[in-house]
Structure 1
Amino acid sequence: MGEKHVVRFEPVGIEIEVDEDQTILRAAAENGVQLMHGCKEGQCAACKSFVLEGDMDDIELDRYSTFALPDYEKEEGSTLLCRAHAYGDLVIELLQYDEEIIRNGLPLTRGVVEVVAIEPVTHDMRHLVVKLVEPAEIKFFPGQYMDFLVPGTDETRSFSMANTPNREGIFEFVVKVYPDGLFSQFLDTRLQVGDRLEVEAPFGTFTLRENRTSDIVFVGGGAGMAPVLGLLRSMAERGVQRRARFYYGARTTRDLCFEKELAELGEKLFDFTFVPALSEPDPGEEWDGHVGLITEVVKKNETSLEGMDAYVCGPPPMVDAAIVTLTALGVNEHNIYYDKFTTTGEQEGEDGQ
């Protein structure tokens, strides 16, 4: 371990000690301070913050994308907390934060899980179900994600829980299989029921803001189904009285999943509408629903979303396009909560495929 330095987060006034060998985001998570973040790989910019006090030479960044942090922003004092190591005391201004989430964060817990089931839900997505072996419990909020250590490597991959917290220690995931995906190919070709995997959780801030009562619009694509499903299941279980609609983008009918459960959830939720759309339906396939990119369908269906909360989850192009669409329709940018599913495999398009 390296030396420790004090990092203070403003405007929330929280101080933590950060070891030089850790990223600032990692140190915060270990202290139960849940800062805004997404990919943890320097690609999505969700954790971008500004250095108010401290020498910029006292910050070292692991490898990151200049799309997330352009050189001119770095020179002006911006940094990515998921990549930043502190080599001196710092004061950081959080550009995106939610005080309710920050102060109610859960500490990270490492554990071991055993595979219970691996079932196809589409031609290229798998429903992975695991059961906790140790410790006795890993706490999480619906919408958060878990890191899996890829066997035989030092690499981890992140997947959102599709289920709600339960006493049985069961976790469900929707994993998209990529041709060159390190974990997804292992899952699809080698992982067996009964195998054990090392995990760590919880990560992520894609959780329901309990202090809000506004109607909700969900926008998702591809494996972005998982965290939205977790939030909807939680709302149904707890009888949350908030109107919600879920716009989900797929390429063709064979890319759709969980339609039956979403219809059943519609019977349990206060007021829920599921709106699937296909961006490239196959010629001749039977489909009488919406056609087009999911953001186009939202634009077509909605005249105003003023006063609503929005939760967006999927590949970066879809998330970025959705944020533009939602703000144009009147959603306050501070009430748009998103999770960008970055990937080291083949890049996904706006429709999530």
Structure 2
Amino acid sequence: MTSVEAAATAAFQISVQPSGRAFSANAGEAILAAAIRSGVGLPYGCKDGACGSCKCKKLSGIVQHGEHQSKALSADEEAAGFVLTCCAKPLSDVVLESRQVTDESAFPIKKMPVRVASLVQKSPDVMQVRLQLPAADTFRYHAGQYIEFILRDGARRAYSMANAPHTQAEMPGLELHIRHMAGGKFTDHVFGAMKEKEILRVEGPFGSFFLREDSDKPIVLLASGTGFAPIKALIEHMQFKGITRPTRLYWGGRRPNDLYMHDWVLARAADMPHLTYVPVVSNALPEDGWRGRTGFVHQAVLDDCADLSGHQVYACGAPVVVDSARATYCAQRGLPPEEFYADSFTSEADKHGA
């Protein structure tokens, strides 16, 4: 048997430093899939080699990368020992360095049927969808995590829960904010033929985007478009838990109606003295009557914050916003890279782009 043939039939030990957590990965199994299966919480986002959220340093071992985008992992980064755990398959025992190892996967990942409870159009291209869960089931998740719809052909579409877990006690079900992508197989259905009481299949919870409650650092919440959905869940969770860390929410859109729950945020900010809300619009027209901040939302944070070295940043939305924020906040404002938590809303077009 050759060494390659041996690697194809072996199971390998994956260790994560500095936590010391370890798990085993089967032959041909991506490291991230093995971690989720084993209840070890590595950071991740799209699970498809497109967003880079799962990138971490390989301290030792050999991996083989599957298909991925260069913006998620460049050739130089790969040569320097970085890996994308979502598409890296081990060919030996591997030791990784990842400071974001968490226990979020302690909540079981399950598949279940859900029923469309309501459809409310919040803006011309954003639908608030409420899903009713099976009556006898419990669904536990962290505010900020997401579920995946499993479509009839096996394709998947991921959407973050916009309501915090504690809201299940008063109004069982999940709230999602779905943006219409013209020509999108799933969103065309949401904005066209979808009706209340329709049955869908989902799986979750997924993701490592949630509040690190063991810190007392001030927080910057950064959202673009429907990236507000998991941020809304974080805000609800913070209010419920009485978390009063100084928090600034920057929410950006092209036009004012992209800030589709603006009044909701104003009301929360009025109830939460530690929460400051900064709405930002990049392409306001004269007829919009917009008198607030303008420009790019990640730049508004740079304009307001000379030093982020003592902060945590939670960023969610379009990949260009998340990537720009990560690069500039760490390089120009001293933010420790391990204190930047992100969920990049990677569309199917993004995943299959260059």
Task: Normalising by structure 2, report the TM-score.
Answer: 0.88
Q: Counterpart in 1 of 2:252? A: 249
Name the CA distance, whole Å, in 2 between partners of 1:143 and 1:282: 32
SS of residue matched to 1:189: coil
Q: Counterpart in 2 of 1:64? A: 68
Is contact 2:43-2:208 (8 Å) kept? yes
The change in CA–CA distance for 1:346 and 1:331 in structure 2 (over 3 A counts) is closer
1:161 alignment partner AA: M
Higher mean alpha-carbon deviation, 220-229 vs 314-323, is at 314-323
Cα root mean square deviation, aligned: 2.3
Answering whether residue 9 of structure 2 is matched by residue 9 of structure 1, we say: no
Q: Counterpart in 1 of 2:84? A: 80
Name the CA distance, whole Å, in 1 between partners of 2:206 and 2:141: 8
State the percentage of identical aligned residues.
28
Q: 1:272 pairs with 270, 275, 290, which one? A: 275
The change in CA–CA distance for 1:193 and 1:268 in structure 2 (over 3 A counts) is same
Deviation sequence 1:189-234 (CA, Å, 0-9, x none): 2222111111111111111111111221111101110010000011
Higher mean alpha-carbon deviation, 270-279 vs 298-307, is at 298-307
Name the CA distance, whole Å, in 2 between partners of 1:309 and 1:153: 40
1:45 alignment partner AA: G
Is contact 2:104-2:142 (8 Å) kept? no
Name the CA distance, whole Å, in 1 between partners of 2:32 and 2:275: 35
The change in CA–CA distance for 1:103 and 1:278 in structure 2 (over 3 A counts) is closer
1:98 alignment partner AA: Q
What 5-or-longer segments of structure 2 have no aligned partner? 1-8
Answering whether residue 324 of structure 2 is matched by residue 317 of structure 1, we say: no
Deviation sequence 1:108-130 (CA, Å, 0-9, x none): 22211111112111111111110
What 5-or-longer segments of structure 1 have no aligned partner? 348-353
Is contact 2:130-2:176 (8 Å) kept? yes
SS of residue matched to 2:316: strand
Name the CA distance, whole Å, in 2 between partners of 1:268 and 1:160: 24
1:1-353 → structure 2 map (5 Å cutoff) = 4-20=11-27, 22-54=29-61, 56=62, 59-86=63-90, 88-94=91-97, 96-99=98-101, 101-102=102-103, 105-133=106-134, 136-150=137-151, 152-165=152-165, 166-167=168-169, 169-327=172-330, 328-345=332-349
Task: Normalising by structure 1, report the TM-score.
Answer: 0.88
1:112 alignment partner AA: P
Name the CA distance, whole Å, in 1 between partners of 2:212 and 2:338: 12
Compute the displacement of 1:345 (Å).
Answer: 3.2
The change in CA–CA distance for 1:92 and 1:192 in structure 2 (over 3 A counts) is farther
The change in CA–CA distance for 1:298 and 1:49 in structure 2 (over 3 A counts) is closer
Name the CA distance, whole Å, in 2 between partners of 1:270 and 1:26: 41
